[in-house]
């Protein structure tokens, strides 16, 4: 399994998650990159044959969002921070 590291001593593991790291990362990327709601991400994943609830997407973003954004562009960090403080996208 792949792991994203917060630091050398604190790995983030996908071990106990039902879906693969690629699906989790793609859902988070969709949410952050295209400023979609959790329900929009749920619908997109459902179109691809994945049964993921919006609540699961919300948990993934809260758990992995900031960690993954550190390995991405600064745009994702700024976008996620705006969504967290705004609260309008949270259901």
Residue 29 lies in a domain: yes
Q: What is the pLDDT of residue 83?
A: 57
pLDDT digits (tens, 9 = 90+) for 8-67: 445 677 888 889 989 999 999 899 889 899 999 999 999 999 999 999 999 999 998 887
Give the domain range for residue 48.
3-7+15-86
Look at residue 68 in the predicted model and tell me its pLDDT.
73
Query: Is 91 part of any domain?
Result: no
| pTM of the entire predicted model | 0.66
Residue 53 lies in a domain: yes
Instruction: Please state at what angle helix 74-86 crosses helix 21-33, rounded to 10 degrees.
Output: 70
pLDDT given for residue 6 in this prediction: 47
Domains: count for the chain:
1
Residue 66 within a domain: yes
- Whether 34 is in a domain gets the answer yes
What is the pLDDT confidence band of residue 2, given thresholds at 50, 70 and 90?
Answer: low
> Alpha helix (H) ranges present in 1-91?
21-33, 38-47, 54-70, 74-86
């Amino acid at each position: 399994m792949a792991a994203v590291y917060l630091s050398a001593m604190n790995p983030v593991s996908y071990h106990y998650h039902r879906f693969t790291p690629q699906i989790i990362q793609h859902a988070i990327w969709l949410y952050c990159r295209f400023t979609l709601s959790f329900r929009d991400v749920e619908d997109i994943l459902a179109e691809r044959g994945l049964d993921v609830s919006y609540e699961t997407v919300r948990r993934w973003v809260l758990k992995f969002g900031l960690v993954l954004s550190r390995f991405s562009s600064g745009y994702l960090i700024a976008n996620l921070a705006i969504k967290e403080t705004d609260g309008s996208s949270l259901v």
